[in-house]
Amino acid sequence: MAMAIGRSKVVVVGTGAVGSTVAFDLVRNHVCDELILVNRTKEKAWAEAVDLQHSLGYSGQKMLIKDGVFGDCGDADIVVMAAAPPYIKGQTRLDALEKSAAIMEDMVPVIIKSGFSGIFIVITNPVDCISYYIQKLSGMPPSRVIGTGTALDSARLKYTIADIMGVDQQSVHAICMGEHGESQLIPWSQISVGGKRFLDIIHDNKKLFEKFNLDHFADNIKKVADRIMLAKGATTFGIAATTVQIIKAILHNENKVIPVSAMLNGEYGEKDVYAGVPAVLYSQGIKELVEYHLLKEEMAELRKSVAIIRKYNQKLKI
């Protein structure tokens, strides 16, 4: 019997608003050949899987989609961790740490027991602490445990700068770094539009940018998620598209640079901590981290952000 060659398999754990939107994005873009949905309430996973099967009706695509169990992770290329406690209004991402960590304590050992040796993509917040925890619980190489980190914040930043300047997003190089949360920073010295430094653009177009305040701008990028959460209970489309870009970069061996939550090993003077930094993603996970030459004040901001992540990591049972 002929064997299927190079079939890719993704398991999404947690089929709430975020996990199910990630699954839909994976199906619409036909990123993998096999998609398994796992959820504590099995009926919910079944319903999402069947609904997704029906979405193939007009697409002409062939894809195996079904609900499953943790045992199905054994031969998966990627396991997406989207399971999370319910959102409580007014809560920060860091406030969810203990409940999120308890969920991981239940799930990660069972996933590893299945024989899983692929790559974890972590969405669950606080994503920097939870990615670190999953790496410790699983014993997987840090290059194979990747948090979505500041990838979505960076997408928001790119979109907003492109919108202000009236240019295509592809012409904007911009990232956020540090914690995916309140303490993240925008390294303005590294941001460019059409190859020109954004700080130089502001300097050369004083009239156009006279009301433009870098601090207010950075604050708005941080706070927009809270406004979305209050209005609709979760951010879904942005994080789903971001997660699928990360999965694509890995499954298609793209060697693409995306700012993700990664284990630092001396980069930026930090070790044994996960934080949002630009990383080269390929078939084995993280190939290398990109180390920017940050300005002194940017470096201080990054250190401050990493210190907050470390403080919360101390609450984990490691």
Q: Which residue positions form the known binding site?
A: 14-19, 39, 44, 93, 123-128, 148, 153-156, 158, 173, 235
How many beta carbons lie within 10 A of that of residue 19, not counting itself? 28
Q: Which residues line the annotated binding site for beta-D-fructose 1,6-bisphosphate? A: 158, 173
Neighbours of 231 (CB within 10 A): 7
Please report, in range form, the residues annotated as the binding site for NAD(+): 14-19, 39, 44, 123-125, 148
Does residue 54 have an active-site annotation?
no
Q: Say how far apart CA 13 and CA 5 lie, in whole Å.
A: 25
From residue 132, alpha-carbon distances to 146, 150, 299, 300, 315 in Å are: 9, 15, 22, 22, 12
From the candidates 30, 54, 180, 252, which is the catalytic residue?
180
Write out the binding residues for substrate. 93, 125-128, 153-156, 235
Strands of the 196-197 sheet, one edge to the other: 172-173, 192-193, 196-197
- C-alpha distances (whole Å) from 136 to each of 30, 129, 145, 179 are 32, 11, 10, 19
- Report the first-to-last Cα separation within the chain, whole angstroms: 47
- Measured CA to CA, the distance from residue 150 to residue 181 in angstroms comes to 9
Length of the chain in residues, anyone? 318
* Of the candidates 279, 225, 286, 249, the residue with the CA atom closest to the CA atom of residue 18: 225
Taking the C-alpha atoms of residue 257 and residue 245, their distance in angstroms, rounded to an integer, is 11
Specify the residue for token string 């991402």. Answer: 93
Active-site amino acid positions: 180
